[in-house]
Every structure is written in structure tokens, then in C-alpha cells.
Amino acid sequence: MGLLQRLEMRQGQALVMTPQLLQAIKLLQLSHLDLAAYVDAELERNPLLERAEVEEPRGEAPAPIEEFGGDGDGDGGEPSAEPWLAQDLNPSRGEIESDLGTRLDNVFPDEGPAAREAPGGDSLSLTPAPWGNAGGSFDGEAPDFEATLTTESSLRDHLAGQLDLATRDPVERLVGGFLIDAIDEAGYLREDPATVAERLGVGLDLVGRVLGLVQGFDPSGVGGRDLAECLSIQLRERDRFDPAMQALVSRLDLVAKRDLAALRKLCGVDDEDLADMLAELRQLDPKPGRAFGSGPVEVLVPDVFVRPAPDGSWLVELNSEALPRVLVNQSYYATVARGAKSDTDKAFLSECLQTANWLTRSLEQRARTILKVASEIVRQQDGFFLNGVAHLRPLNLKTVADAIGMHESTVSRVTSNKSIGTSRGTFEMKYFFTAAIPGAAGAAAHSSEAVRHRIKQLIDGEADDVLSDDALVQRLRHEGVDIARRTVAKYRESLRIPSSIERRRERAALAR
């Protein structure tokens, strides 16, 4: 078999992932916050990009200077440079009453005599009362209102202030500060004392002593390593941590299950004493740190708004606040390109121009794709927007992709980290894609989210009879939903609804 070299030309098709295509795919799956950060980075890196200025509303535009006064000729000539300087800023009382068409006593009946007429003359002073400082003088600058604002105290600052008063030992303050830093927003210690002792190089008994000191701080129950220890600290401060209550706190799992018989046997008390103990347990705070300021709450900003149209259809529009606006400064590019001498400068400018053009095109393509996918979701789930969760339909990515002529991966990227604002609230786009549950006797399929909502409605509507999972299956099958018992149990657990046995025990406890 001979070996030889030769040149051949072949024609074929292949998908090449260019940098521009990778950029478009990356932008498509970013949330509006990540997209804003990416655009900000590009604005700093690329000198040809600039942020588009938002036009001010007409109602908030500054008034032209002609509205404040003119030369009075009425011939449309150019007004004076400062026409308001010719006006009398301290007119007489008669002039003001003539302009208003009434007496000042009628216009300002609540003003005092000193405000209506200045002493020593009939002129009315229009100078505002001094409010700049305590001495009554006004230096022309507005007071600093930010200096009077108060910041919300955090749990760490609250505990650190108590630690400074509780001990003067620098070692104990160091260990206490480390323990305070390990306490989360709920007030629980998330660090093992042995780990703390190993990191700081101190004895475990010292860490335990300082931890006991921190657990005595306000709020009561702070520094507990679990719920049982948190409740035990609060009960000790109330002098109610007797052996019976200690046994009750040690088996909080039985308290959650409402197993009153096992709790009576464990604590050695009767029904009345157990009811009092449970009532006292409910008065405790399971999260003592929640009374203090936590991190800022991030509001879910919708990428698309959906609102009803007058003809009964739906209007789908992009949220302009979630879309960054960037422009390519062509005039600046032309100016700089004329002065570029070296090939390196010309190559850099060409690359910046190409990158800027591709970024603007990618942002426009991203906006059009999001709007297209959202419009199809609204069309497929119009029953939800009209009547609520019970009318959700089964929907998958392939259905939407086939309807708009896109690939499933593109639809998946569009619906990631995006949300739709409706009159019923703000929902993630992924919320509208639900699995299908077959209907009974050949009926149409049902959305899993709608079935989950129906299970919650049936349990909330329970009267004297508590519905078991089997009873829920029978109810749903009568309504045309063919569902298995294990699926009902899975949906019920996802809704954090206890079983029928636990609900029956809870009702019996409340009845007592």
C-alpha cells in the first residue's frame, strides 16, 4: 500500500462558534442584573460605546427663562439676560392684594400678625424664615438631612456592644467577637466550638465559657446551635426549664407530629399540664435574630409586562428599565480614526468598532427573542391570565420552540433568569412550563401546577373529615384527573402540608 501526498478540495457545512455567536448566546441567558454588569464592563473597556441618554418627560423639563419675565415689548425680541432682576422682590401689601383680587386676611387667615405685615411699614416681607441653623442665621446652604438619618442596628452590632460591657479580657473579647461573627441572621451559631478553639488556638473550655456569656445576651435565645438549645436558653431565663419541660424540648419531633400520647408518657404529665407546656412553648421565639435588620430585600423585576387590551387580547411589552441602552459613537470613531498613525492603533479602533456593533446587535436580538418567546407563552397560557392557576395548561419547551421556529436550547436560554409581570403578580418564565398529568377516561391532560393547586384547595376546604391521600386521589379522579397516590403525596409534601394523621392530631389538640 503506497503512501502519497495530494491536495483535495471538499465542500461541506459545519457550525462554527464564532466569538460573536458565543457573545449572543451568553447575553441571551443572562438576567437583567448580570446583563447590566456586563454592559458596564464593556462601557469601561470600549471607548466607542456610550450609554444612551434617557429623555426627560415633558412635564419635568426645566421651564425656559422667558416664562419668568421679559422686556414687555411683545415684539418677540430677545429677552434681557436676567429679566427677573428687574422685578420687585419685596412688593407692597396693596400690590399683592391687587394681584390676588382679594385681601391677604382672606387668603392667609391662619397667618399671624407678624407674617401679614412687617413692623414699621406697610410692606410685606417675602423673605423665608431662617432655618439654616440653631442661631437663626442662614448661610445659603440647605441643611444636611442625611446627617440626621439613623441606620438600622444589625444583630452583630447589638451583640458586640453587649460584649464590650460584659468583659474586659482581650482574649475573651477576641473569642466572643469570633463567635458573634459566626451567628447567622436568625440568631443561631453556625460554627462548632471545637473548630473555633482550633482556629484561635485556645482551650475548648474558654470557648464554652465565652459562648455561655454570649448566650446570655439580648435577644433571649441567641447563640443556640439548634432549635432545642435556642428554646432551652429562653426557658432558663424564664425559670421554666424543669425536668418535664427539658424532656419536651428534647423531643421536638414528637411535638411537630402532635403525638400527644408519646409526649405525656415521656414528660410524665397529664393532658392539662401538657397543654400548658405546649402553649408556653409556642410563646417562645424560634428565630431571635429576626427582630434586627437583615440584608436588603431584592425585588424581582419583570423583564416583560403583560396587560389586557381593550379588545380582550393581551398586550406583551418589554420592561424598558431592564434593558440597557448603549450606542456606538460613530463621530468619535471618525475623529480618532483620522488621527491614527500606526497599524496597532488602527487595528485597535477597528476591533472596538466591530465589538461595539456586535454588542448593540446582540442586545437588540436578545430583546426581540425575549418578546417573541413571552408572546407565545402568553398565547399558550391565556387561561392562566384570565382565570388563575387552576387553568394552567401543560407546556414544554418543544411546543414553544416549534410554534416560533426556534430551537429548544434557545427557548431554554431565554426563559432562564427571566420573569413576567402580570396583574396576578410576577412569575418566572419557567413557572409556565409544567408537566402533563393524564386525564381520566381519555380527558384532556392537566397541568401539574394546577393539580397541586387543586390539592391545596381540597385540604384547605376540609371540614370535620380529614382527607387522606387515597381520598384525595378519589376526589381528583372524579374531577377527571388520573393521578397516583404517590404523586399526591409528593405534591402534598412539596406544599409543606402534613399527612392526614398529623392534621387529625393537630385538630384534636386544638379542640382541647
Mean pLDDT over 468-481 rounds to: 91
Question: Shortest CA distance to 42 belongs to which of 319, 303, 322, 326?
Answer: 326
Mean pLDDT over 79-100 rounds to: 53
Q: 189 φ, ψ to 5°? A: -80, 120
State percent of the chain over pLDDT 70. Answer: 78
Beta bridge partners, 183, equal 189
446: left (phi over 0), alpha (psi -120 to 50) or beta: beta
Whole-number Å distance between alpha carbons of 249 and 228: 6
pLDDT over 80 (residue 92):
no
**What is the C-alpha radius of gyration for the chain, rounded to an integer number of angstroms?**
36
pLDDT over 90 (residue 117):
no
Q: Is there a contact between 287 and 404 (Cβ–Cβ < 8 Å)?
A: no
- Which cell numbers hold the place of 178? 469570633
Q: 4 φ, ψ to 5°? A: -145, 160
Q: How many residues does the chain have?
A: 512
Mean pLDDT over 63-81 rounds to: 41
101: left (phi over 0), alpha (psi -120 to 50) or beta: left
pLDDT over 90 (residue 455):
yes
Q: What is the pLDDT of residue 55?
A: 55
- This prediction's pTM: 0.63
pLDDT over 80 (residue 337):
yes
Helix crossing, 155-166 with 170-181: angle to 10°?
160
Q: Is there a contact between 182 and 191 (Cβ–Cβ < 8 Å)?
A: yes
- Whether the CA torsion 313, 318, 321, 326 is positive or negative: it is negative
Q: Is there a contact between 260 and 274 (Cβ–Cβ < 8 Å)?
A: yes
The helix (H) or strand (E) run that includes residue 44 is helix 32-45
Helix crossing, 271-282 with 243-250: angle to 10°?
70
State percent of the chain over pLDDT 90. Answer: 44
pLDDT over 50 (residue 116):
no
